[in-house]
């Protein structure tokens, strides 16, 4: 699997760099032993570039002359139930996780958090597969569990058998079964006794995310900070100007993070615009909520023993037509959010790179193009259709340009 090589030293010249708050055109990025050492604007450079003059440490370093391309931090799929032919609730071994990781890597996603519903066997199997896979935590930080302590009235795509009443002993059992890998859990904040689960999960370092909830503002029982909102607008009480639903809370500046599904199917364009304007750029996290079949041609798949159908309308249960997940991934989400919410590209990239890395406690070293951080980056063509690691170009000895995009697409 091609992924970031922490020992690589190289220079990228001529690409547009996507920062957390801007895009720097025709810039130079110098990476020393896997970390970003220098960032130089076009006007700061002499031509032709002399690596030794830039920094003696770079004498003899390879230079990638890149044109018509972006350099983008690796994207994060923080809420993803599956992709390709894999559904994370039915992982039986490490090979499936490694296959999913490769599939996502080919699409510019360098970090993902497998998301499942509560089922003891599914959780134990996923934990075992993660440990056996050898995937580093910067690529697979842990597990996202939707439920089981959610409101059946707003279950969305969660089957009734995956929902349980509040039970602190079950919460502890879940933590034990996760063996320290539980990172995020969706909980309904109106449930009686939910505070006991907050204490158990947050005491173990789990990020509590409020969702699958029919709460009104006056019935909310809020966890301590940090906490998040699960897929805003979906499977929750909506915005109301009198009583207020859970969606109102997302715009109160109280939650530390707010997930929004940017696929254009789960949330319409007007709501995406509202989210972009009313939620801080430090809080908004773009998710796909993708499931098995995402990134593949439309078709029929199996999910938790149910038939699901992937079409231009997303992925839906075959028998009820209920929307249960997305078939879009990564950059598809970024592109759609940029277009429908009317935001600059850097803002959408930030919401699927730096902000989720912060939520996962990894932003010190990952999530953005900044001096000192790990060069966990991809080179994308200007249409944002083809992604490749710089290391792959170094190995091939070729540059990335408009004329070579089809060639690199074939390699992926």
What domains are there in the chain, each with its CATH number? 10-72+368-411 (2.30.40.10), 75-359 (3.20.20.140)
Q: What is the pLDDT of residue 6?
A: 62
Residues 52 and 61: beta-carbon distance below 8 Å = no
> What is the average pLDDT value for the chain, to the nearest integer?
92
Spatial separation of the C-alpha atoms in residues 14 and 17, rounded to whole Å: 9
- Kindly tell me if the per-residue pLDDT of 51 is higher than 70: yes
Residue with tokens 């947050």: 202
Higher pLDDT, 129 or 411: 129
Residues 223 and 202: beta-carbon distance below 8 Å = yes
Quote the percentage of the chain above a pLDDT of 70: 93
Higher pLDDT, 43 or 406: 43
Mean of pLDDT values over 282-286: 98
Residues 281 and 253: beta-carbon distance below 8 Å = no
- Kindly tell me if the per-residue pLDDT of 367 is higher than 80: yes
* 402 confidence band (pLDDT: 50, 70, 90): very low
Q: What is the pLDDT of residue 391?
A: 92
Burial 124-163 (b: 16+ CB within 10 A, else e): ebbbebbeebebeebbbbbbbbbbbbbbeebbbbbbeebb
* 59 confidence band (pLDDT: 50, 70, 90): confident
Residue 170 to residues 104, 152, 199, 243, 250: CA-CA distances in angstroms? Answer: 33, 18, 13, 32, 28
- Kindly tell me if the per-residue pLDDT of 17 is higher than 60: yes
Which tens digits make up the pLDDT trace of 133-174? 999 999 999 999 999 999 999 998 888 999 999 999 999 999
Residues 76 and 54: beta-carbon distance below 8 Å = no
Mean of pLDDT values over 222-246: 96
Q: What is the pLDDT of residue 258?
A: 98
- Kindly tell me if the per-residue pLDDT of 411 is higher than 60: no
Which tens digits make up the pLDDT trace of 327-360? 999 999 999 999 999 999 999 999 999 999 999 9
The three-class DSSP label of residue 24 is strand
CA torsion 15-16-19-23 (nearest 10°) is 160
Residue 55 to residues 37, 111, 115, 153, 270: CA-CA distances in angstroms? Answer: 9, 31, 44, 61, 49
Q: Report the chain's terminal Cα–Cα distance, integer Å.
A: 11
pTM of the model: 0.93
- Kindly tell me if the per-residue pLDDT of 69 is higher than 50: yes
Spatial separation of the C-alpha atoms in residues 237 and 126, rounded to whole Å: 31
- Kindly tell me if the per-residue pLDDT of 410 is higher than 60: no
């Amino acid at each position: 699997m091609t992924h970031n090589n922490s020992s690589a030293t190289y220079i990228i010249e001529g690409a547009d760099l996507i920062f957390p708050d801007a895009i720097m055109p025709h810039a130079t990025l110098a990476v020393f032993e896997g970390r970003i050492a220098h960032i130089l604007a076009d006007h700061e450079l002499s031509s032709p570039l002399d690596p030794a003059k830039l920094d003696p440490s770079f004498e003899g370093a390879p230079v990638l002359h890149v044109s018509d391309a972006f350099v983008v931090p690796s994207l994060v799929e923080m809420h993803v139930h599956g992709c390709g032919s894999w559904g994370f609730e039915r992982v039986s071994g490490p090979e499936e996780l490694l296959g999913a990781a490769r599939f996502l890597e080919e699409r510019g996603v360098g970090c993902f958090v497998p998301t499942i519903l509560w089922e003891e066997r599914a959780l134990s199997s996923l934990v075992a597969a993660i440990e056996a896979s050898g995937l580093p935590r910067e690529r697979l930080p842990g597990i996202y569990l939707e439920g089981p302590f959610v409101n059946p009235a707003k279950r969305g795509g969660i089957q009734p058998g995956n929902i349980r009443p509040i039970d602190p002993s079950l919460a502890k059992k879940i933590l034990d079964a996760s063996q320290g890998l539980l990172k995020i859990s969706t909980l309904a904040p109106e449930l009686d006794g939910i505070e006991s689960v907050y204490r158990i999960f947050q005491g173990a370092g789990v990020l509590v995310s409020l969702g699958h909830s029919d709460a009104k503002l006056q019935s909310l029982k809020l966890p301590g900070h940090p906490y998040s909102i699960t897929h805003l607008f979906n499977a929750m009480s909506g915005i109301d100007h009198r009583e207020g639903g859970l969606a109102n809370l997302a715009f109160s500046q109280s939650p530390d993070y707010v997930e929004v599904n940017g696929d254009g199917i789960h949330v319409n364009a007007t709501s995406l615009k509202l989210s972009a304007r009313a939620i801080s750029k430090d809080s908004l996290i773009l998710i796909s909520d993708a499931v098995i079949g995402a990134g593949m041609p439309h078709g029929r798949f199996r999910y938790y023993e149910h038939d699901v159908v992937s079409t231009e309308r997303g992925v839906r249960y075959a028998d009820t037509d209920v929307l249960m997940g997305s078939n879009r991934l990564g950059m598809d989400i970024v592109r759609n959010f940029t277009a429908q919410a009317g935001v600059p590209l850097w803002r959408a990239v930030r919401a699927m790179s730096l902000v989720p890395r912060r939520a996962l406690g990894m932003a010190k070293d990952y999530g953005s193009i900044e001096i000192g951080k790990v060069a966990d980056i991809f080179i994308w063509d200007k249409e944002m259709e083809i992604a490749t690691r710089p290391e792959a170009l170094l190995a091939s000895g070729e540059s990335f340009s408009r004329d070579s995009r089809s060639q690199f697409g074939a390699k992926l």
